[in-house]
Amino acid sequence: MPLRSAAAAMRLPKGLRGRVLAWTLAIRVAIAVPAAGVFIWLVDSSVVKLGTLFAEKQILFDRYRGLESLMREVSLAETVARSPAILDWARDEADPVKAQRGLAELEHYRLSFKDRSYFVVLDGSGNYYFNDKANTYENDRLRYTLSRDNPRDGWYFKTIAQGSGCHLNVDHDDNIKVTKVWINCIIRDGDRALGIIGTGVDLSQFIREVVDIPQTGVHSMFVDRNGAVQAHRDPKLVDFHSLTKDSKAKKTIFLQLDHERDRHALAEMMQQVASGSALVSSRFMQIDGHRALVGVGYLDRLGWFNVTIMDVEAIIDRRLFLPIALLLAAMLVAAAALMTLAFQRRVLDRLARVEADVQKVQSGHFDEVTSDAADDEIGRLSRAFRGMASAVRDNTDRLEEMVRDRTRDLERLAHLDPLTGIFNRRGFEHAFDRGQSRARRAAAPMGLLLVDIDRFKPINDSHGHHDGDRVIIAVVERLTRLLRGYDVCARWGGDEFILLLDAGDRASLSAVATKICAAMRAQPVTLADGSLLPVTVSIGASLVREEQSLADAVGQADRALYAAKQGGRDTFVLDDDAWRDEPHAAPPVSG
């Protein structure tokens, strides 16, 4: 009996050990399998979410680079297209005086373009004028004449058919033998298109500055509304002459995608960002047998899309998570009986917090990411993730600040006159609306003054446009010195300026107009050769009623200005005196 009891005692531990080992192994397997799945899912989720967030910021960055490189040129080309000298020439190309003034205006602006080149096509004749940064064609700017029968001239007729605005085209001009990103701005006179004016940006330089930026796993390109590739680090993929090509012959971004469903998805993404319903859009697609994250943004002023293709695996290396996975496995092996509880409390719960932090980052709440202070794998992962979230936040803030700064610069360029730095016509229209709102609240009318430089055309004809610009700048300096509080000064036309006076009445209008005439007359303008040129102005003034539109107010002041001109210049007329032609004049000055 004692022997049998001893034998039984020996067998029990052996059986329990096996069962414990089996159960322990089963528990470990039961826990390890889902834990491994959860970990892999979290890593995949983190990689995808961080990759998507990175994609959106990369698209904004590419959009900023594209706008920065081209918008100044577009804005300047738009300004040239509205120049009075260009419009006069385009209306009557055969007039040699107007042609000379138009070409002189182009040469003036050529030095402001980044490429130091320009072109213009006049619709009446089809003549193509061009000059480059070396001034090669100074004496022969008429290069050739466009023809509807020449397929290579189709770009012009397709662009002019669009009616208005500026349009981009990547093209090689066979006649002048240059390849550029061409900026084509339509010259308009009311509803009539008079031609196209613009400049070019060297395609190779544009690719180096904007597209060919060395970033691991990131490929950027620009495409037009049809998906035709306009800028790519590989010149073989650029679709030259895309305006005149048949759609089936174009090199498009859609041809780079493996599946038809991805092509439809990309077209929907482009339509979505173009409509303004989303700033950026991204999605995983199959390209050359590889899964890549494709992001799309829209450059509305240029009519281009910036497309960024990212290899998320190359951007975020999954091997970084390997040490964490190995340490987790070691923890599972050492867990034993309390493995389930310990794993639940020490791993899964904390991983859930990391996942919640990932979702916070995805939602843009970077400052709400928590930090796990534990000195283990998950703690280090949490702190590393918090560091990544902080870096993403800093990069996001920096990019958003850059976008805001650039937006402010673009808005400033759109509302200011490039020569004098004061408001242009568009900027004054906004200032007038704000002034009307302020005048209604104060129940006090505003005053409007139209100021025109007397005999300005002979100044330009006799002394040249550079001295004409000096006169304009000097007049603006004297006008702005007389402004008060909410007063606004703007350049209304070539030699015509408009002032909006806060809380005006007849007495204050007369006083300001008198000061302006005296300030102009008091001191001549020093020209480039050192000679002195007396300058006077004529002024038409009116009070602006609360309900009055800008057009009506300007019409009133313009009638008064006409009366001042008829009254001998160097004077001012109030609008209610315009019909009686009674100028309020200071003593007139000769010239």
For 269-338, give the DSSP string.
HHHHHHHTS-SEEEEEEEETTEEEEEEEEEETTTTEEEEEEE-HHHHS-GGGGHHHHHHHHHHHHTTGGG
Rounded Cα–Cα distance for residues 368 and 243 (Å) = 50
Residue 290 has pLDDT above 50, yes or no: yes
Tokens 């002195």 correspond to what residue? 532
Tokens 């283990």 correspond to what residue? 376
Residue 236 has pLDDT above 70, yes or no: yes
Mean pLDDT value of segment 394-413: 69
Which H helix or E strand runs over 191? none
* Banded model confidence at residue 289, pLDDT cuts 50, 70, 90: confident
Contact 47, 312 (CB under 8 A): yes
Give the pLDDT of residue 355: 72
Token pair listed for 531: 């000679």
pLDDT tens digits along 530-542: 889 999 999 999 9
Residue 545 has pLDDT above 80, yes or no: yes
β-pair partners for 168: 183
> What is the number of alpha carbons within 13 Å of residue 546 lying toward its C-beta?
8
Of 516 and 292, the structure prediction assigns the larger pLDDT to 516
16-19-21 Cα angle (round to 5): 105
Supply φ then ψ for residue 298, to 5 degrees: -125, 130
Token pair listed for 362: 């995805």
- pLDDT above 90 as % of the chain: 21
Give the pLDDT of residue 8: 46
Give the pLDDT of residue 451: 95
Nearest to 274 by CA among 243, 250, 296: 296
Rounded Cα–Cα distance for residues 419 and 423 (Å) = 10
pLDDT tens digits along 438-463: 888 877 888 999 999 999 999 888 88
Give the pLDDT of residue 465: 87
Rounded Cα–Cα distance for residues 560 and 335 (Å) = 95
Count of C-beta atoms within a 10 Å radius of residue 29: 11
Residue 238 has pLDDT above 80, yes or no: no
β-pair partners for 286: 291
Rounded Cα–Cα distance for residues 202 and 40 (Å) = 48
User: Measuring CA to CA, how many Å separate 74 from each of 79, 81, 185, 260, 416?
Assistant: 9, 11, 8, 36, 15
- Give the CATH fold of the 82-204 domain: Beta-Lactamase (3.30.450)
Token pair listed for 18: 């096996």
Of 16 and 410, the structure prediction assigns the larger pLDDT to 410
Those residues whose C-beta lies under 8 Å from the C-beta of residue 149, and which sit 6 or more positions away, are none
pLDDT tens digits along 88-118: 999 998 999 999 999 999 988 888 888 888 9
pLDDT tens digits along 110-122: 888 888 889 999 9
Rounded Cα–Cα distance for residues 113 and 72 (Å) = 9
Contact 324, 381 (CB under 8 A): yes
Contact 200, 178 (CB under 8 A): yes
For the chain, what percentages of helix, strand and coil (3-state, to nearest 5) are there? 55, 20, 25
Which H helix or E strand runs over 164? none
Contact 236, 263 (CB under 8 A): no
Rounded Cα–Cα distance for residues 558 and 542 (Å) = 9
3-state secondary structure of 388: helix
Rounded Cα–Cα distance for residues 187 and 167 (Å) = 12
pLDDT tens digits along 34-74: 767 776 666 666 666 666 666 666 666 666 665 566 778 88
Contact 63, 304 (CB under 8 A): no
pLDDT tens digits along 161-189: 887 888 877 775 655 555 677 888 999 98
Instruction: Name the least confident of 20-29, 517-526, 557-566.
Output: 20-29
Nearest to 564 by CA among 591, 537, 544, 524: 537
Question: Which residue spans of the chain are classified as CATH 3.30.450.20?
Answer: 82-204, 212-315
Token pair listed for 320: 């970084």
Give the pLDDT of residue 583: 46
* Domain over 425-585 is classified CATH 3.30.70.270: yes
Give the pLDDT of residue 588: 37
Strand 446-453 and strand 537-544: the pairing is: antiparallel
* Banded model confidence at residue 376, pLDDT cuts 50, 70, 90: confident
- Tell me the pTM: 0.38
Angle of the 349-362 helix axis to the 377-415 helix axis, nearest 10: 10
Residue 358 has pLDDT above 70, yes or no: yes
* Banded model confidence at residue 543, pLDDT cuts 50, 70, 90: very high
pLDDT tens digits along 189-229: 888 899 999 888 776 666 666 666 666 777 778 888 888 88
* Banded model confidence at residue 288, pLDDT cuts 50, 70, 90: confident
Mean pLDDT value of segment 357-379: 74
| CATH class for the region spanning 212-315 | alpha beta
Of 338 and 34, the structure prediction assigns the larger pLDDT to 34
Give the pLDDT of residue 584: 46
User: How does the average pLDDT of the chain come out, rounded?
Assistant: 79
Residue 284 has pLDDT above 60, yes or no: yes
Give the pLDDT of residue 7: 44
Contact 250, 278 (CB under 8 A): no
Question: Which residue spans of the chain are classified as CATH 3.30.70.270?
Answer: 425-585
Which H helix or E strand runs over 38? helix 2-81
Give the pLDDT of residue 416: 92
Contact 553, 542 (CB under 8 A): yes
User: Measuring CA to CA, how many Å separate 523 from each of 530, 533, 571?
Assistant: 14, 9, 16
